[in-house]
Amino acid sequence: MTEKNICVLEVLCLGNTIVGIVNRIANPQGSAELGLPLLSILFYGFGLFVTSKYSETGLRVFAWLGVIMLIGMSIVLVFVFMGVLAERHSHVGGTWYANRYPDCQVDIPSNLYSYSFEINPQWSHYYCHQSEIVDYLEKCTDKYGIRSCIHFDTAVTRCDWLDERQLWRVTTVHKNSGDEKYYYGRHLIGAYGLLSNASYPTDIEGFETFEGEMCYTTEWNDKINFKEKRVAVVGTGSSAIQCIPQLHKNFGISHIYVFQRTAAWVTNLKNRTVTPFEK
């Protein structure tokens, strides 16, 4: 490619960058959006100057600067512009970390319960248990290097769309310190789950004066001693269907009462270990 062709190419790149800046000024999206085009103008402008003035030497300087700029931008993209994940718990796993009630497990075949890019052939059971899923998610987190992007013990309290800047402003609060922080971004993904907060049946008469111990399946209390006690389970959702048989068989309770609004159809899960051949 001749010096003349190089200059023409740089002029086209420079013109395209200027058009991009004009469009951004006409449709403002925040000062951060202008940083890259302005940097590109300086880069291509310098390249045009050294190419036309110093010919071959200028081309070499411009080429090496391009390599350095590419490496620098890659580092910035990885360490500065990588997404931020706010996790209100102290570990990854979401619902599978929060739900630790007896016999917590999936209700679909385990081999379907993995990322498409990280298939797991090592599930121990046809319907694997909670601890195994958490281990799988922990391994994925470390393997793909996203743990450094996760802000643990951090709850999202508010999300505001700033129309004048075309950005999201996300307000978070740290569970331990109480520090409030703001994050800004063009994209926001809410992965909080529809049933992530415990919902106690406070409308039941006598709830507020009940003196016994209470816990929710998503906030299971391992310190409760169920032995020789009467236990009431409110609801017959998936969590209740899994934990009621375990409470009855393995916790030494004297009586168990189940309160339901609508009867559910329940069949034997027929869970089993996965054979080496199947794996």
Show the beta-strand stretches assigned E in the chain: 85-86, 150-151, 154-162, 167-174, 180-185, 230-234, 255-259
pLDDT tens digit string along 32-48?
Answer: 444 555 555 556 566 65
pLDDT of residue 208: 86
User: 32-36, 47-51, 68-72: which range is least confident on average?
Assistant: 32-36
Cα-based torsion angle of the residue sequence 181, 185, 191, 192 in order, rounded to the nearest 10 degrees: 30
What is the second-level CATH architecture of the domain 85-185?
A: 3-Layer(bba) Sandwich (3.50)
Q: Considering only CA atoms, give the Rg of the chain.
A: 29
pLDDT tens digit string along 176-224?
Answer: 999 999 999 888 988 877 777 788 888 888 888 888 899 898 889 989 9
Query: What is the average pLDDT score of the chain?
Result: 80
pLDDT tens digit string along 248-262?
Answer: 899 999 999 999 888
Whether the Cβ atoms of residue 226 and residue 254 lie closer than 8 Å to each other = no
pLDDT of residue 29: 45
pLDDT of residue 53: 59
User: 66-75, 116-125, 127-136, 162-171: which range is least confident on average?
Assistant: 66-75
Q: What is the pTM of this model?
A: 0.69
For the chain, give every residue range classified as CATH 3.50.50.60.
Answer: 85-185
Q: Is the pLDDT reported for residue 131 higher than 90?
A: yes
| Distance in angstroms (rounded) separating the CA atoms of residues 30 and 8 | 31
Of the pLDDT bands very low, low, confident and very high (cuts 50, 70, 90), residue 6 is: low
| Distance in angstroms (rounded) separating the CA atoms of residues 27 and 36 | 16
Q: What angle do CA 170, 199, 212 make, to 5 degrees?
A: 135
Q: Is the pLDDT reported for residue 90 higher than 50?
A: yes
Q: Which residue has the higher pLDDT, 5 or 214?
A: 214
User: 21-35, 48-62, 182-196, 222-236: which range is least confident on average?
Assistant: 21-35
Range 166-175 average pLDDT: 93
